[in-house]
Amino acid sequence: MCEANVYIDEHDGKGEVLYLENVDVIRPEDGKLFIKNLFGEQKFFDGQIKEISLIKHKIVLTRK
């Protein structure tokens, strides 16, 4: 499958922290990022995309 895992770059020495696995959809919505995974789990994240690396199945976000 071609989903990705979403991480938050916390900028506090913790590095990249796993936020949601098996993500299918991300889109800006109402000033936040709407994120949905293969299992229908949905989250809104108050931040932005830092980097997408599809071959690594990895998307990194940063907080606003």
Alpha-carbon span 20 to 61, nearest angstrom: 11
Q: Which of 45, 2, 54 is nearest to 26 (CA)?
A: 45
User: Which residues in 1-64 belong to E strands, given as ranges?
Assistant: 4-9, 16-29, 32-37, 42-45, 47-53, 58-63
20 binds its own copies (CB under 8 A): no
Segment near its own copies (CB under 8 A); pick from 7-15, 20-28, 39-47:
20-28
Tell me how far, at minimum, the Cβ of 26 lies from its own copies, in Å: 4
Cβ-based nearer residue to its own copies, 43 or 57: 57
Q: Under the rule (CB under 8 A), what is the footprint of its own copies?
A: 1-4, 23-28, 38, 48-55, 57, 59
